[in-house]
Amino acid sequence: MTGFQPPRRLRVEHRTRFGYDRTVAASYNECRIQPRTEPRQQILESHVAIEPCTWRYDYVDYWTTSVIAFEVRIPHDTLTVTGTTVADIAEAADPPQVDWARLRSAQTTDAFAESLVATARTEPVPEVVELATEAAAGKPPHEAARAVSDAITAVMEYAPGSTGVQTFAAEAWAARRGVCQDFAHLAVGAMRSVGIPARYVSGYVQSHSGAAIGETVAGQSHAWIEWWTGGWYGWDPTNGKPVGSAHLAVGRGRDYGDVPPVRGIVSSAGQSRLDVSVTLTRLR
């Protein structure tokens, strides 16, 4: 039964704070934390506050992600970037499906070339390729993709703090542990190895689906994947679930490197501490 479901309305506040033990004279950064309106999600309100900030420039990048480039050219000891978004999010619709022949046709492989090539971060080790090949065997593309992702999810342990943003799929695989980013890297790498176009998605997820309307709960910035077997289909390998109205997407790319939330350089020889907090409030 597919009755009309009203979209979920979420308010997301994503705060990133860098603290420096030595005063920083200048820094140049880019942040990718603003979701954009797309078929499954409608943005009602969105703003990013940067403190301190001497100049900012908003643009949409190659991956159609909304980016804010900003300069901080005054001495500072902390840098805080706070993004606030209110969005209506619908459940995903089931995409049309194609068979393996279509998927492997020159036309498809050329059109989705960027989602078929392994990158350094997603490069699957032979063991992963083997695992993916076995999982996909004998299944139509969509089921094969699901099976490949499940195979990864089954082996990997979700262990917060076990890896960092610069961890490659191969390293996470060797440890058999990781966070959402590693699950996503492994899954897209494995999928591409069997010829299924797949991409990395950065965004937010409301994990406490039981939270009451109006209640603010801690959430997280999250990463999941999308594969193409006739249309793009979102899947959350960390949770082993399809992407739905609890997932708010910010950007897509080949891997984390194409959609880092905050990235920049500072003129400092000192150490920095990073605090990230994400809070989600279901408004409807």
Partner 1 sequence: MYRPDGTPRSGYTSLHQSLARLTGEELRTRVETLARTYVDQGVTFDLGGEERPFPLDVVPRIITAAEWGVVERGVAQRVKALEAFLADAYGARASVAAGVIPLRLLLSSAHFHRAAAGIEPANGVRVHVAGIDLVRDSEGEFRVLEDNVRVPSGVSYVLENRNSVSQVLPEAFSAEPIRPVGEYPFRLLNALRAAAPEGRSDPTVVVLTPGIFNSAYFEHALLARTMGVELVEGSDLLCHDGSLFMRTTRGERRVDVVYRRIDDEFLDPVTFRADSVLGCPGLLTAARAGRVTLANAVGNGVADDKLVYTYVPDLIRYFLGEEPILPNVDTWRLEEPDVREQVLDRLDELVVKPVDGSGGKGIVIGPDASHAELDELRSRLVADPRGWIAQPVVALSTVPTVIDDHLAPRHVDLRPFAVNSGEEVWVLPGGLTRVALPEGQLVVNSSQGGGSKDTWVLGDRDAPPTMPMRAPRTAHAQPMAEPDVNPDDSRGHQQQQQQQINPGRSEC
Partner 2 sequence: MLSRIAESLFWIGRYLERADGTARILDVQLRLLLEDPWLDEDASCRALLSVMGHPVDAARVDPVDGREMLELLAQSDAPSSIVSSLAAARENARRAREVVSTEMWESLNTTRNEVVAGRWRSRSPYRLFAWVRDRVAVVTGIVDATMSRDQAWHFLVLGRYLERADMTARLIAAQDARGGSGAGWPLVLRSCGAFEAFLRTYGAAASEDRAAEFLLLDRLFPRSVVHALLEADACLAQLSTDEAYSAARLVGRDDARRLLGRARTELEYRPLAEVYADLGTHMDRVQRVCSAASDAVAQRFFPGGKATAWVREHS
Q: Select 45 or 110, whichever has its Cβ closest to partner 1.
A: 110
Q: Select 87 or 262, whichever has its Cβ closest to partner 1.
A: 262
| Residues of this chain that bind partner 2 (CB under 8 A) | 16, 18, 25-27, 29, 165, 260-269, 272, 274, 276
CA distances from 200 to 27, 48, 117, 226, 237 (A): 28, 23, 12, 7, 11
Rounded CA-CA distance 74/87 in Å is: 34
Smallest distance from the beta carbon of 265 to partner 2, in angstroms? 4
User: Quick one: tokens of 263?
Assistant: 């990235």
From 55, 99, 218, 284, residue interacting with partner 1 (rule: CB under 8 A): 55
Q: Are 60 and 66 in contact (CB under 8 A)?
A: yes
State the binding partner of 165 from partner 2, partner 1, none, CB within 5 to 8 A by kind: partner 2
State the binding partner of 109 from partner 1, partner 2, none, CB within 5 to 8 A by kind: partner 1
Q: Is 150 exposed, middle or buried (0-12, 13-18, 19+ CB in 10 A)?
A: middle
Q: Select 92 or 205, whichever has its Cβ closest to partner 2.
A: 205
Considering only 22-30, 211-219, 223-231, 275-283, which stretch makes contact with partner 1 by CB under 8 A?
22-30
* 114 touches partner 1 (CB under 8 A): yes
Smallest distance from the beta carbon of 176 to partner 1, in angstroms? 29
* 63 touches partner 1 (CB under 8 A): yes
Three-class SS of 3-31: CCCCCEEEEEEEEEEEEEEEEECCEEEEE
Residue 183 sits at φ, ψ, to 5 deg, of: -60, -45
Q: Select 25 or 120, whichever has its Cβ closest to partner 2.
A: 25
Residues 220-259 that bind partner 1 (CB under 8 A): 258
Smallest distance from the beta carbon of 138 to partner 1, in angstroms? 27
State the binding partner of 268 from partner 1, partner 2, none, CB within 5 to 8 A by kind: partner 2
* 111 touches partner 1 (CB under 8 A): yes
Report the 10 Å Cβ neighbour count for 78.
14
Rounded CA-CA distance 172/160 in Å is: 12
Rounded CA-CA distance 36/182 in Å is: 24
From 73, 139, 177, 241, residue interacting with partner 1 (rule: CB under 8 A): 73
SS3 content of the chain, % helix, strand, coil (to 5): 25, 40, 35
Q: Select 30 or 143, whichever has its Cβ closest to partner 1.
A: 30
Rounded CA-CA distance 216/209 in Å is: 12
DSSP letter, residue 208:
-
For helices 141-155 and 180-193, what crossing angle results, to 10°?
Answer: 140
Smallest distance from the beta carbon of 183 to partner 1, in angstroms? 24
Q: Which residues bind partner 1 (CB under 8 A)?
A: 26, 28-30, 54-55, 57, 59-63, 69, 71, 73, 109-111, 113-114, 117, 258, 263-265
